[in-house]
Structure 1
Amino acid sequence: VNGKSIMGLMMLAAGQGSKLHIRCEGPDAAKAMSDLEELINARFHED
Structure 2
Amino acid sequence: MSWADWEYLGLYHRIVWGKHKNYGKEIWMVLDQRTFTATELSAWLRR
Normalising by the residue count of structure 1, what TM-score does the alignment of the two structures yield?
Answer: 0.23
What TM-score, normalized to structure 2?
0.23
Question: Greater share of helix residues, 1 or 2?
Answer: 1
